[in-house]
Amino acid sequence: MKTPPELLNEHACFGGIQRFYQHDSREIGLPMRFSVFLPPQAAQGPVPALVYLAGLTCNEETFMMKAGAQRLAAELGLALIAPDTSPRGANLHGESDSWDFGLAAGFYLDATEAPWSTHYRMESYITAELLPLVTAALPMDSSRIGIFGHSMGGHGALTLALRHPGLFRSVSAFAPICSPSQCDWGRKAFGGYLGADESGWRAHDATVLMGDMARAPYPGGILIDQGLADKFLAGQLHPALFEAACASARQPLLLRRHAGYDHGYYFIATFMADHLAHHWRELGA
What residues contact residue 262 under an 8 Å CB cut-off, 6+ apart?
Answer: 227, 229, 230, 231
Determine whether 68 is exposed, middle or buried from the number of CB atoms within 10 Å of its CB (0-12, 13-18, 19+).
middle
Query: Which parts of 104-230 are beta strand (E)?
Result: 140-150, 170-174, 222-227
What's 102's DSSP letter?
Answer: B
CA-based radius of gyration for the chain: 18
Three-class SS state of 39? coil
- Rounded distance between C-alpha atoms, residue 237 and residue 228, angstroms: 11
Determine whether 252 is exposed, middle or buried from the number of CB atoms within 10 Å of its CB (0-12, 13-18, 19+).
middle
DSSP 209-270: HHHT-SS-S-TT-EEEEEETT-TTIIIII-HHHHHHHHHHHT--EEEEEETT--SSHHHHHH
Amino acid identity of 65?
M
Which residues have a catalytic role annotated?
151, 230, 263
